[in-house]
C-alpha cells in the first residue's frame, strides 16, 4: 500500500491528542510539561509531511525545515525557562503537584 | 517502506501513551525518548535528514536529559495512588478523543486524502543540509539573529530564576 499524506497527518493528530490528554489528566507538573513538548513535536511532523508532499521544482519546500529549526530552538529555550520556574516553585512549595498549587485558582 | 512507517508510527504513539500512563516520572521520560526516536525516524522517511537528526540531538539528547536531571534533582517520586473523581479521566479522555475524531473527520474529507509520495527530482546534487543552510544564512538571516537574542534572553532568565532569593 502506498503511503499517503494522510498517514502522516493521522499519526501527527493522534500524537497531539495523546499529549492533550496527558496535559488534562496528569497532576505532576513535569509530566504535563513533557506532554506539551509532545504536542509541539507532533505539530512538527505535520510541517515536514506537507513540505515533502508539496514539491517545489522537484524538491521539498525547505522553508518548512527552516521553520522547524526555529521551532526546535524556541522549544529548547522554553524548556530551560520552564524547568527553572518548576525548580523555583518546588523551592517555595515543596511540591510539583498541580492540585497543591492553587493559590491563584479562585 | 510502508512496513517501516507503521513500525515507527507505532513506536511514536506507544511512547506517547507511555508518557501519559506511567506513574513514575523517570519511566515517563524514557517513554518520551522512545516516542521522539520514532518521530525522528518518520522525519527521515520524509527525506528530512537534518531535521530527523536535530530531533534526536536536541529533543532526545538535550531536552530529555534536562528533564531527567530535574526529576532526579527534585527527587520526584511516583504519583501516589489517590482516588480521583472519575470525571477527571472521563473529561480528559473525552476532550482528547473528540480532538482525534475531529482530525480524522477533517482528513477524511479533505483534498489531501489520496496524495501519494511524489518522487524527488533526479537532480538532487545538493543535500538538504545545503539547502537549509542557504535559506538560514540567506533569506532568513534576520530571524536567525532574533533567535540568537531569544536564546540569550532565555539564558539570562534561567540564571535570574535560579537565584536563591529574588531581589
Mean pLDDT, chain B, as a whole number? 85
Query: How far is it, in rounded angstroms, from Cα B118 to Cα B23?
Result: 43
Looking at the fold, whether B76 and B133 belong to one and the same domain comes out as no
β-bridge pairing A55-56 and A59-60: antiparallel
Looking at the fold, whether B132 and B74 belong to one and the same domain comes out as no
Q: What is the pLDDT of residue A48?
A: 92
Q: In this structure, is residue B24 part of a structural domain?
A: yes
Query: How far is it, in rounded angstroms, from Cα A78 to Cα B72?
Result: 20
Looking at the fold, whether B143 and B77 belong to one and the same domain comes out as no
Of A10, A31, A88, the CB nearest to B28: A31
A38-43: list long-range contacts, CB under 8 Å, 24+ apart: A38/B16, A38/B19, A38/B32, A38/B35, A39/A15, A40/A71, A40/A75, A41/A15, A41/B35, A41/B36, A41/B39, A41/B55, A41/B59, A42/A12, A42/A13, A42/A15, A42/A16, A42/B39, A43/A12, A43/A16, A43/A71
User: Would you tell me which residues 85-124 of chain B have a C-beta closer than 8 angstroms to some C-beta of chain A?
Assistant: 88-89, 91-93, 95-97, 99-100, 103-104, 107-108, 112-118, 120-121, 123-124
| Predicted confidence band of residue B31 (pLDDT cuts 50, 70, 90) | very high
Domain residues for the domain of B134 are: 127-167
Q: Which of B42, B58, B71 to mutate to test the interface with A (most CBs of A within 10 A)?
A: B42
CATH code, B19: 1.20.120.1200
Looking at the fold, whether B76 and B132 belong to one and the same domain comes out as no
| A102 Cα to chain B: minimum distance (Å) | 17
Q: In this structure, is residue B52 part of a structural domain?
A: yes
Q: In this structure, is residue B48 part of a structural domain?
A: yes
Query: How far is it, in rounded angstroms, from Cα A52 to Cα B115?
Result: 11
> Which among A44, A99, A84 is positioned nearest to B74, based on CA atoms?
A84
All three cell numbers of A50:
506537507
Looking at the fold, whether B2 and B77 belong to one and the same domain comes out as yes
Q: In this structure, is residue B96 part of a structural domain?
A: no
End residue of a domain, out of B28, B59, B82: B82
Query: How far is it, in rounded angstroms, from Cα B152 to Cα B17?
Result: 34
Is the pLDDT at B100 greater than 70, yes or no? yes
Residue with cell 530531533: B55
Is the pLDDT at B63 greater than 80, yes or no? yes
Q: What is the pLDDT of residue B84?
A: 67
Q: Kindly report, residue by residue over A34-78, the tens digit of the pLDDT.
A: 999 999 999 999 999 988 888 877 788 889 999 999 999 999 999
Looking at the fold, whether B63 and B133 belong to one and the same domain comes out as no
Is the pLDDT at B53 greater than 90, yes or no? yes
Is the pLDDT at B113 greater than 60, yes or no? no
Q: In this structure, is residue B160 part of a structural domain?
A: yes
Q: What is the pLDDT of residue B125?
A: 66
> Which among A96, A12, A98 is positioned nearest to B92, based on CA atoms?
A98
Is residue B123 within 8 Å of A58, Cβ to Cβ? yes
Looking at the fold, whether B132 and B56 belong to one and the same domain comes out as no
Q: In this structure, is residue B100 part of a structural domain?
A: no
Of B66, B79, B161, the CB nearest to A85: B161
Is the pLDDT at B51 greater than 70, yes or no? yes
End residue of a domain, out of B21, B55, B82: B82
Looking at the fold, whether B78 and B131 belong to one and the same domain comes out as no
End residue of a domain, out of B24, B47, B82: B82
Q: Which pTM value belongs to this model? A: 0.88
Q: What is the pLDDT of residue B83?
A: 65
Q: In this structure, is residue B87 part of a structural domain?
A: no
The structural domain count of chain B equals 2
Q: In this structure, is residue B93 part of a structural domain?
A: no
Q: What is the pLDDT of residue B111?
A: 65
Looking at the fold, whether B2 and B58 belong to one and the same domain comes out as yes
Amino acid at each position: 500500500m502506498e503511503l499517503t499524506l494522510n498517514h502522516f497527518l493521522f499519526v501527527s493528530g493522534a500524537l497531539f491528542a495523546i499529549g492533550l490528554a496527558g496535559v488534562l489528566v496528569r497532576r505532576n507538573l513535569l509530566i504535563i510539561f513533557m506532554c506539551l513538548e509532545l504536542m509541539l513535536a507532533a505539530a512538527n511532523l505535520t510541517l515536514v509531511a506537507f513540505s515533502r508532499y508539496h514539491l517545489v521544482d522537484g524538491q521539498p519546500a525547505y522553508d518548512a525545515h527552516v521553520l522547524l529549526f526555529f521551532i526546535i530552538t524556541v522549544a529548547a529555550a522554553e524548556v530551560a525557562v520552564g524547568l527553572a520556574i518548576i525548580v523555583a516553585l518546588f523551592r517555595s512549595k515543596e511540591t510539583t503537584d498541580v492540585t497543591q498549587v492553587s493559590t491563584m485558582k479562585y | 517502506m510502508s512496513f517501516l512507517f507503521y513500525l515507527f508510527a507505532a513506536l511514536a504513539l506507544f511512547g506517547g501513551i507511555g508518557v501519559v500512563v506511567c506513574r513514575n516520572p523517570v519511566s515517563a521520560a524514557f517513554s518520551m525518548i522512545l516516542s521522539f526516536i520514532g518521530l525522528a525516524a518518520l522525519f527521515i522517511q520524509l527525506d528530512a535528514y537534518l531535521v530527523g537528526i536535530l530531533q534526536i540531538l536536541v529533543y532526545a539528547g538535550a531536552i530529555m536529559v534536562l528533564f531527567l536531571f530535574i526529576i532526579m534533582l527534585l527527587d520526584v517520586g511516583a504519583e501516589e495512588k489517590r482516588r480521583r473523581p472519575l470525571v477527571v479521566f472521563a473529561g480528559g479522555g473525552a476532550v482528547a478523543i473528540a480532538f482525534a475524531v475531529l482530525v480524522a473527520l477533517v482528513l477524511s474529507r479533505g483534498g489531501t486524502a489520496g496524495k501519494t509520495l511524489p518522487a524527488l527530482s533526479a537532480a538532487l546534487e545538493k543535500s538538504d543540509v545545503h539547502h537549509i543552510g542557504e535559506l538560514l544564512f540567506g533569506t532568513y538571516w534576520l530571524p536567525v539573529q532574533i533567535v540568537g537574542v531569544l536564546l540569550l534572553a532565555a539564558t539570562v532568565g534561567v540564571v535570574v530564576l535560579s537565584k536563591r532569593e529574588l531581589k
